[in-house]
Amino acid sequence: MQFIPSALLLLFAATFLCIWLLERRRRHLLLFALAFLTISAATVVQFALWPADIGYNTIVCAALYSAAPLLLVQGVLLRSGQSMARAEQAAWFGGIVVILACFYYIQNDLTVRVYVLNFGMGGILLSGAWKLRHLVRGNIVDRVMLWLLLGLGATFVGRTLLTGGSVPTDDVDAFFQSAFWVWAQFAMSVLGVAMGLALVVVACADVILALKAERDSDPLTGLLNRRGLQGKTQRLFVKGVGKPLSIVACDIDRFKAINDSFGHAAGDIVLSGVAGVIRSKLRAADIAARTGGEEFVIVLKDAPVDDAFGLVETLRREIASVRFAGMPDDFAVTCSFGIAKLHAGESLWDAIGRADKVLYAAKRAGRNRTFAEGLQLSNAA
């Protein structure tokens, strides 16, 4: 019975390893597998008293128990594009192992070893949660990861404070009968399973969200496609009721001539470059999509038409200043823009249709300019 927690942890290690073998680009899954494998090995070493020498057993257990939360935290951080510095990892690992060795070989005190190990493991998890505190504003999956680390770390600290007093000073046999050990086994079984299941759910959610993002994105430019634009703007319309929204239609001038003169590879470079400029100039709440060959749509949140005009003019000038690989240095790629206000009760595509009409007026007027519906404003480079 005492090896049931170890078997459950090992099962989760195998599960994450299998998922990683299917999704090798998600390296954090391998770290999750190693974390569960390490904690499983630690429980086996402690239960079986192998090696039998208590001093050696203490050091091996300390190393395995310290490595497990470090691997878990590193995996969670890696999933979010962060990492724990190697020096910090070494400090946590070395500090726990050395202190536990000292409180066996220099001053034998089992109670202190229990406090140091559990506070250390909790500290590692809580430090990881602190590094990920920005995820409190993330999506639900990100928030789950944050609260998992925070809750698990707090459990190590709280459980030790509540039951650590039952640990004897140097009687190993009595330790395995203490309230601390009973609750530790309970927590290992329940929290281990809960953490494993939660991480499996997170891994599956990550895959689903990635597939959804791939479905809704234009592979060449990385902007939204028509489907992604529709979905993203629907949520924006719900949240932004009563606030001004400007719809911008953008078209690369004489794009067919670019393809004919310099080749389709150069045309792809232009599309990607224009998309990059658009992405760099927009605000966080704005939305950009590639809706056709050389056609883009931008949705500007909380932007009346006159404000949108100024932003788009900055964007137009920036694009005209960029020089693209595969084309002469004196060749300028330009874009024309049309801006329309989204009216109450109007569909997105109706507003885009009106913005398109304004865009074609800008093209007829000479291209490389911005026209805005309702404004007697235009500009040419």
Report the pLDDT value the prediction gives residue 376, as an integer from 0 to 100. Answer: 53
CATH classification (class only), 226-372 = alpha beta
Q: Where are the domains of the chain?
A: 4-216, 226-372
Give residue 381's pLDDT band: very low, low, confident or very high (50, 70, 90).
Answer: very low
Segment 18-27 shows an average pLDDT of: 91
Which position among 88, 214, 294, 318 bears the catalytic label?
294
- Averaged pLDDT of the chain: 90
pTM (two decimals) = 0.74
**According to the per-residue pLDDT averaged within each range, which of 32-36, 51-55, 165-169, 373-377 is highest?**
32-36
Strands (E), 181-276: 245-252
Kindly tell me if the per-residue pLDDT of 379 is higher than 50: no
- % of the chain beyond a pLDDT of 70: 96
User: 95-101: long-range contacts (C-beta < 8 A, 24 or more apart)?
Assistant: 95/120, 96/62, 96/65, 96/66, 96/120, 96/121, 97/59, 97/62, 97/63, 97/66, 100/58, 100/59, 100/62, 101/55, 101/58, 101/59, 101/62
Residue 352 near residue 249 (C-beta atoms within 8 A): yes
Active-site residue, 88 included: no
Q: Mind listing the pLDDT tens digit for each residue in 185-226?
A: 888 778 888 888 999 999 888 888 888 888 999 999 999 999
Question: Residue 291: pLDDT above 90?
Answer: yes
pLDDT of amino acid 169: 80
